[in-house]
Amino acid sequence: MFAVTSFAPGQPVAVLTAQPLDRFLDYRAPEGGARLGDFVEVPLGPRKVLGCVWGEAEGDFPVEKLRPITRVLDVPPMRDELREFLVRAADYTLTPLSLMLFLATRAPGLFSGPQMIRVYRPGEPPARLTEARKRVLDVFEGYGGAALTVGEITRAADVTGSVVHTMAAQGALIEAEAPKDQPYPLLDPSLPSKTLSDDQAAAAEVLKSRADAFGVTLLKGVTGSGKTEVYLEAVAECLRKGRQALVLLPEIGLTEGFLERVEARFGQRPGEWHSGATMTERRRLWRMAGEGRVQLVVGARSALFLPYRDLGLIVIDEEHDGSYKQDEGVLYNARDMAVLRASLAQAQVVLASATPSLESWANAQSGKYHRLDLHARFGVAELPEMRALDLRGQKLPHGRWISEGLKAAVDERLANKEQSLLFLNRRGYAPVTTCRACGHQIACSQCDARMVEHRFLNRLMCHQCGATAPIPTACPDCKTEGSMHPIGPGVERLEEETRATWPEARVAVLSSDLFGSARALKEQIAAIAGGEADIVIGTQLVAKGHNFPLLTLVGVIDADLGLHGGDLRAAERTFQLIRQVAGRAGRHDKPGLALLQTHQPDHPVIQAILSGDDEGFWRAEAAEREALGMPPYGRLAGIILSSSSLEQAFDLGNHLAMNADPLLAIGAQIFGPAPAPIARVRGRHRVRLLIKAAKGAPLQAAIRQWLAGIKPPGDTRLAVDIDPQNF
Ligand code: ADP
Ligand code: ZN
Ligand code: ZN
């Protein structure tokens, strides 16, 4: 980096814009001069775009020909720490730096300044309540009456701008001033914490002693052991030091319980950063992060890119969760990027999980990360008892999935007024719909996926692209009437069986497609926690940190699901999911029982779950990965070629595979081209090359050299996926 940090008026400077250009643009510093890192508005063709002053101009264009920066925005300049982070993250993920700036400036209205945003609130009830108008009003209700921009309304309500404008003209919407950006209320770390157990207190002390310096700690403890209580003490310590803290959560729609816990601990709610937040909220948080006027941010992975003034702690809760890997646009893993950012900010990282990723487990094993274990569950002596229900000898009647053993256990819970959870990680009614006459299966016309029947929606739906279609009465292929027929269980079908088996019981279903909004889902979760259901049926949605105090039984309908994904991570995922779900049972004073229905009670993963031997499981997995040279013991990168033409994608893939000297020079192996794990999405074919290299190999440098000058033909696009999740 250059030592120069400010530029006199008229001096040429290099500006990074968030436009898809792989270079800096040169401009003249404006009248008041400019500083390194200043956020600026610059002309680009006929438009004005957001940019960031990155250094001295590089081009040799005569100064007088350069256009001037239009305006320096009234926000603190980007700090060196964030600039360095964006550069390093771009290098690591092989993404253009401009895309990184895009991630770091996704705060609408930065540009226009607070007063220039037009927002609306509901006014008089509309004279005529059309469907579209009703949806608009519902959106306001969903946001608790917050003022919303036209863009927010049209997107959330799926209406055109003219619906909004007509409603405004008729007084059904009232134009309001966008509220000025308010600092966040102060959190008070000196409020008393809960009384920690000895185990918890010891862990909290260790984390506190590691504050103010870079280091990564894996905080491992079974669900309910109090990991959250412990890391909130690390947050308290960070706040006491006057630094900012960030807590990343995987399933952002489900944070209400978490926000309440923060409020109980620190007296106020933190800043929230996620896609469900309004633009006004996001702009406010972006500014306040930069001004140091928000102490704690709770958010989704993109909160990593906020311009914190002084970030002292990053917590990644449920660190093993697959949603931390962004799989569209910039392909980055938030866990790894958090470690990078923390190393630049001299911040502490806490990775919390009951079932850590093999990567983090191995890093703790090798001493790269610290490790802290919470052994006991708080207030409960033991983990739930785990038992396998061997289905091999049993023949369940057609369309039934609940075995006698499981039924008896649920009966017992009903008699004791306790809750049972039936877990099945399959949305919809049945995973496959097939023709009895000819065997035809209905597939998505756009993707390489089957259409899943959803009775609740009364549609078929593709879980890859979301496309829906009516459920046909006749086979689309052989035209036989009434021949289409569901195979296998989904949560909706399980619900049918449950209601038929226990007609008196109150049944609640938790599946992401049954909830139109995050709020409805939160209400449902609160109702279950409050005891308003006897039997809960859920997909993986329930596996994530909720407290259901009355729950004492978890029945896993198909524990074998996912053991044969043809994917090296399948065992790891199954292990994590079943352990997490089983941890829902008996969290407080009542002991829990987890029953796993399986056809393979002797499978090593099922055995590890039953015996509670996590370390044994990880050691076995690690040995297998190491023998194969797979991550974390080797490195992988994917090259995804997507195109409307399968042939073009394969041609480019073959060309790349055959001209790969830079990769061969570092001893890497190339596999493919082959159809990608998701081979077709929204009508585009996806082909993948997989590159495998030794752990210390300079993989990124070799790939950069290899791909230099490659211009994908037609509409073919090339994306690099460093450390792919699926292999
Ligand atoms: P984890 O994050 O490991 O799943 P939590 O921190 O959510 O565990 O704790 C599980 C439950 O036990 C929560 O309801 C929490 O409030 C409660 N709990 C944990 N530790 C304590 C404590 N020391 N005092 C009181 N309640 C606690
Ligand atoms: Zn047919
Ligand atoms: Zn599809």
Task: Tell me the CB-side half-sphere exposure of residue 384, using CA atoms within 13 A.
Answer: 28
Q: Which fold has domain 385-429+489-622?
A: Rossmann fold (3.40.50)
CA angle 295, 301, 307 (to 5 degrees): 45
Boundaries of every domain in the chain: 6-82, 116-179, 198-374, 385-429+489-622, 430-487, 634-722
Asked if the model's pLDDT at residue 116 lies above 50, the reply is no
Quote the tokens at residue 319: 């660190």
Ligand 1 atom nearest residue 545's Cα: 4
The dihedrals phi and psi of 442, each to the nearest 5 degrees, come to -85, 125
Q: Could you count the other beta carbons within 10 Å of the beta carbon of residue 4?
A: 12
Residue 359's closest CA among 216, 221, 560? Answer: 216
Residue 718's pLDDT band (boundaries 50, 70, 90)?
A: very high
Whether 15 and 51 have beta carbons less than 8 Å apart is answered as: yes
Asked if the model's pLDDT at residue 537 lies above 80, the reply is yes
Asked if the model's pLDDT at residue 711 lies above 80, the reply is yes
Please state the rounded mean pLDDT for residues 519-543: 79
Asked if the model's pLDDT at residue 1 lies above 50, the reply is no
Asked if the model's pLDDT at residue 61 lies above 70, the reply is yes
Residue 3's pLDDT band (boundaries 50, 70, 90)?
A: low
| Cβ of 579 less than 6 Å from ligand 1 | no
Asked if the model's pLDDT at residue 75 lies above 60, the reply is yes
| Cβ of 225 less than 6 Å from ligand 1 | yes
Residue 187 CA to ligand 1 centre (angstroms): 20
Give the homologous superfamily in CATH for domain 198-374. Answer: P-loop containing nucleotide triphosphate hydrolases (3.40.50.300)
Q: Is 532 left (phi over 0), alpha (psi -120 to 50) or beta?
A: alpha
Asked if the model's pLDDT at residue 112 lies above 60, the reply is no
Residue 687 CA to ligand 3 centre (angstroms): 17
| Range of 281-285, 379-383, 693-697 with top mean pLDDT | 693-697
Cα–Cα distance measured from residue 662 to residue 629, given in angstroms and rounded to the nearest whole number: 20
Closest CA to ligand 1's atom 11 = 224
Residues contributing to the annotated binding site for Zn(2+): 435, 438, 444, 447, 462, 465, 475, 478
| Cβ of 588 less than 6 Å from ligand 1 | no
Q: Which CATH class is domain 634-722?
A: alpha beta
Give long-range contacts, CB 8 A cutoff, 24+ apart: 710-713.
710/652, 710/656, 712/641, 712/643, 712/652, 713/648, 713/651, 713/652
* Predicted pLDDT at 516: 52
What is the chain's mean pLDDT, rounded? 85
| Range of 29-33, 85-89, 195-199, 678-682 with top mean pLDDT | 85-89
Residues contributing to the annotated binding site: 435, 438, 444, 447, 462, 465, 475, 478
Whether 170 and 139 have beta carbons less than 8 Å apart is answered as: no
Surrounding residues of ion ligand 3, Cβ less than 5 A: 444, 446-447, 462, 464-465, 467
* Predicted pLDDT at 381: 46
| Cβ of 228 less than 6 Å from ligand 1 | yes
| Cβ of 642 less than 6 Å from ligand 1 | no
Helix (H) or strand (E) holding 12: strand 12-17
The packing angle between helices 227-240 and 198-209, to 10°, is: 40
Continuous H helices in 245-298: 256-266, 279-291
Quote the tokens at residue 195: 């009384």
Select from 315, 321, 378 the residue to mutate for testing ligand 1; criterion: most ligand atoms less than 8 Å from CB: 378
Select from 193, 199, 229, 581 the residue to mutate for testing ligand 1; criterion: most ligand atoms less than 8 Å from CB: 229
| Cβ of 221 less than 6 Å from ligand 1 | yes
Residue type (1 letter), 198? D
Asked if the model's pLDDT at residue 683 lies above 60, the reply is yes
Please state the rounded mean pLDDT for residues 625-647: 88
* Predicted pLDDT at 693: 93
The packing angle between helices 518-529 and 256-266, to 10°, is: 70
| Matching fold, domains 198-374 and 385-429+489-622 | yes
Q: Which ligand is nearest to the CA of 433?
A: 2
68-82, 338-352, 568-582, 584-598: segment of lowest average pLDDT: 568-582
Residue 454 CA to ligand 2 centre (angstroms): 20
| Cβ of 597 less than 6 Å from ligand 1 | no
Residue 353's closest CA among 315, 314, 405? Answer: 315
- Relative to beta strand 71-72, strand 39-44 is antiparallel
Asked if the model's pLDDT at residue 517 lies above 50, the reply is yes
Cα–Cα distance measured from residue 224 to residue 229, given in angstroms and rounded to the nearest whole number: 10
Q: In terms of pLDDT, which residue wins out, 203 or 142? A: 203
Residue 399's pLDDT band (boundaries 50, 70, 90)?
A: confident
Residue 117 CA to ligand 3 centre (angstroms): 37
| Cβ of 226 less than 6 Å from ligand 1 | yes
pLDDT tens, residue by residue, 404-415 = 999 999 999 999
Verify cis geometry, omega within 30 degrees of 0, for the bond prior to 632: yes
Residue 494's pLDDT band (boundaries 50, 70, 90)?
A: very high
Residue 20's pLDDT band (boundaries 50, 70, 90)?
A: confident
Residue 368's pLDDT band (boundaries 50, 70, 90)?
A: very high
* Predicted pLDDT at 115: 39
CATH architecture of the domain with residue range 6-82: 3-Layer(aba) Sandwich (3.40)
Asked if the model's pLDDT at residue 321 lies above 80, the reply is yes
Asked if the model's pLDDT at residue 258 lies above 50, the reply is yes
Please state the rounded mean pLDDT for residues 635-662: 91
As a three-state string, the secondary structure of 25-68 is: EEEECCCCCEECCCEEEEEECCEEEEEEEEEECCCCCCHHHCCE
* Predicted pLDDT at 129: 87
Residue 561 CA to ligand 2 centre (angstroms): 27
* Predicted pLDDT at 127: 82
| Range of 172-186, 308-322, 377-391, 453-467 with top mean pLDDT | 308-322
Verify cis geometry, omega within 30 degrees of 0, for the bond prior to 673: yes
Residue 541's pLDDT band (boundaries 50, 70, 90)?
A: low
Cα–Cα distance measured from residue 36 to residue 43, given in angstroms and rounded to the nearest whole number: 19
Please state the rounded mean pLDDT for residues 347-364: 93
* Predicted pLDDT at 113: 45
E strands, 59-102, are 71-72
Whether 579 and 369 have beta carbons less than 8 Å apart is answered as: no
Residue 324 CA to ligand 1 centre (angstroms): 24
Percent of the chain's residues with pLDDT above 70: 88
* Predicted pLDDT at 570: 64
* Predicted pLDDT at 114: 40
Asked if the model's pLDDT at residue 612 lies above 90, the reply is no
Please state the rounded mean pLDDT for residues 609-633: 83
* Predicted pLDDT at 513: 60
* Predicted pLDDT at 378: 61
Select from 195, 219, 223, 228 the residue to mutate for testing ligand 1; criterion: most ligand atoms less than 8 Å from CB: 228
Q: Which residues contact 415 (CB under 8 A, 6 or more apart)?
A: none
Residue 722's pLDDT band (boundaries 50, 70, 90)?
A: very high
34-43, 263-272, 515-524: segment of lowest average pLDDT: 515-524
